[in-house]
Structure 1
Amino acid sequence: MTPPSGTAVLETETPTPAPTRGTLGGEQKNWAEQLALALFIGLPFAALVAAVPVMWGWGLSWLDVVLAAVMYAITGHGITIGFHRYFTHGSFKAGRKVRIGLAIAGNMAVQGPLVRWVADHRKHHKFSDQDGDPHSPWRYGTGVRALTKGMWWAHMGWLFDIEQTPQDKYAPDLLKDADMVRVSRQFPFWVAASLLLPTLAGGLITWSWQGALTAFFWAGLVRVGLLHHVTWSINSICHAVGNQPFRSRDKSGNVWWLAVPSMGESWHNLHHADQTAARHGVLRGQLDSSARIIRWMEKLGWVSDVRWPDRARIESRRAA
């Protein structure tokens, strides 16, 4: 069987031995994983909602804003450059230190362990907006009620599905990499680090418990919650609305107003038309900070063999 477009692994239906897993647990999420998932989603989201009234009162400083922006950039690009463009689609090559760094930064985004995230996303591309897609907003149909239900499913609901994507089928390359399995299993540690590092920085810089507390709230919980919903919006909003200048076999669209917070991921139509491309925003004025950072990494010699889409390749994927 040939691999699906945009995936650098071979798939097989041949029965295999009990797989090595990059995350803890079996093929179904147990109650502890479900509870942890609810906390990971619920607490940051509650913090995000609470941020609005808190913002107009006490407890927000320029230090909190800077710490939140720095942590958002590091962990967000850990997802967009690391988990997505590199580990899922192989848009460039990287050495061991860069691979580990990208895996850690992605884990600190609190969106699930590396191997699980990659397996889910590769399955999404294989069945995009069809039966089998883990998070299509068109899951229940095309009517208003069905699409409303589907948008909820694509945005957050699918995360609570007890069925897990088989990692041995969709991410066997990562399961063969001892470094990646180790970092993936360290997910709880990197979640704690993601929340405690800005807290520690806020406390040390201000030399106060209040500085630590506000940094934990803004650069920890609120930052994680915002990044969660921006990332999930690519699954929901960008598969329901947006223009489609390129040919793809699904309903992926470009949503311009998500480009900056999503670090270029919302130029989603080109991504589904050319899944291994390192740049998603290929048209004039399409900001893509992830592609810009990959370019800097290439110039520094940190990455190589970057799959930049040239003009001919772009034009060949234009919609009629």
Structure 2
Amino acid sequence: MPQNRDHRIIRSRHFHKMQRRHFIVFDILPFVGTLVALGLLFYRPVGVMELSLFLGFWLITGLGLTVGYHRLFTHRAFATSTTMSATLIVMGSMAGRGPMLSWAAMHRRHHELSDHDGDLHSPRLHGGGLIGRLRGFLHAHLTWMIAHDYPNVAHYVPDLMADRRLVAVNSYYYSWVVLGLLLPAAIGGLATMSLWGALTGMLWGGVVRMFVVEQTFSAINSIMHTFGTQPFVTRDDNSRNLGVMAWIAWGEGWHNNHHAFPYSAAFGLRWFEFDPGFIFIRALEALGLAWDVKVPSEEKIARRMLRQPGDATAPDLETG
């Protein structure tokens, strides 16, 4: 397998072929399926069942990504049991955003090189001017997934690779994606006792939901590094906060907060910053299913807000 001299990444035609295949199956096909679902509205409008399945699986898979893939596995922002960890892998995998180990490796590389050469999905590396910005935005939102350098998991996620049980659950990624399509189909079919219910259940709870979740998480790469506020100085990256994105992206909209305190389980750091992902973590903690939940102190938050652009010394590597 051809490998770049930089041991942190792997450049491989085989990996690029797999990435293109994943892009077609989990990005292009859900888009086509969404068009089909919208077209069927002219035949029969959606009802409470379809909307409930869409919202339910949107929440389940979104929390799997933000709480599981992102806050637990990538940043180790809290601790939980193997059973709960496995459950979060399944929840996140059903979103079709890639296996947990690969996702965590890519995101750790993103924090290492955010908006600099080597960042896999920065919108800022395609030249200046309107055309360069549009190209960068499209790259960050979509086209980077077609083919990209693969972060070496042995370098970026050795702690996760050391847990054989999590590796085993992760290895069934494609099975969990299929489960995310079959479950809403089964629920829709049983709820209506019809094949039509199974079809619309799979479309709205599976395919359309997958497309919407993908667009939402892609917006974190594109929108959240282009628009919004920057209350914290970070390491020369363009991470931003955008409150509306926090509501529709499970708390991920507080992206500048996250880059300032990547170890934090809370992305919303102030009382008015709504963060569904952190609410879920606190609920797990109350049930005894999560512990060692990391959150920066008010003093640290205030101190970081007072920093000036020249004062940030590798804040993205801050560990608490």
Q: Same fold (TM over 0.5)?
A: yes
- 2:167 pairs, out of 163, 181, 201, with 181
Q: Which residue of 263, 272, 276 maps to 1:289? A: 276
Instruction: Find out whether 1:193 has 2:183 as its counterpart.
Output: no
Deviations 1:249-272 (A, max 9, x none): 210001122112200001100000
Evaluate the alpha carbon distance shift between residue 161 and residue 33 of structure 1 in structure 2; reply closer, same or farther with a 3 A threshold.
closer
What is the rounded CA distance, in whole Å, between the counterparts of 2:109 and 2:43 in structure 1? 45
Which has the larger displacement, 49-58 or 74-83? 49-58
* Structure-to-structure mapping, 1:1-320, within 5 angstroms: 28-29=14-15, 31-52=17-38, 54-55=40-41, 58-249=44-235, 250-318=237-305, 320=308
- The amino acid across from 1:179 in the alignment is R
Displacement of 1:313: 1.8
After TM superposition, the structure 1 stretch with the greater mean CA deviation from structure 2, 46-55 or 108-117, is 46-55
Q: Return the offset for 1:185.
A: 1.4
CA RMSD of aligned residues (A): 2.2
Whole-angstrom distance in 2 between the partners of 1:197 and 1:146: 42
**Unaligned ranges ≥5, structure 1:** 1-12
Verify the 8 A CA contact 2:7 2:152 in the aligned structure 1. no
Against the structure 1 CA distance between its residues 286 and 106, is the aligned structure 2 distance closer, same or farther, given a 3 Å change threshold? same
Cα deviation code 1:65-102 (max 9, x no counterpart): 11111111111100000000010001001111111111
SS of match in other structure, 2:115: coil
Task: Name the SS for the 2:305 alignment partner.
Answer: coil
- Distance in 2, Cα, partners of 1:85 & 1:69: 22
8 Å contact from structure 2 (residues 93, 100) kept in 1: yes
TM-score, structure 2 length as denominator? 0.89
Aligned length: 302
Could you tell me the TM-score, scaled by structure 1's length? 0.89
Tell me the percent identity.
35
Q: 5+ residue gaps in structure 2?
A: 309-320
1:46 deviation in Å?
2.4
The 1-side partners of 2:280 and 2:198 are apart by 30
> Which segments of structure 1 move beyond 4 Å, counting only runs of 4 or more?
13-16, 25-28, 49-57
User: Which residue of the partner structure matches residue 3 of structure 1?
Assistant: none
Is the CA contact 1:59–1:214 (under 8 Å) kept in the aligned structure 2? no
AA matched with 1:127: L
- Letter paired with 1:238: M
Given that residues 228 and 241 in structure 2 are in contact (C-alpha distance below 8 angstroms), is that contact kept between their aligned partners in structure 1? yes
User: Structure 1 residues 78 and 162 mapped into 2: Cα distance closer, same or farther (>3 Å)?
Assistant: same
Amino acid at match of 2:102: R
SS in structure 2 of the partner of residue 317 of structure 1: helix
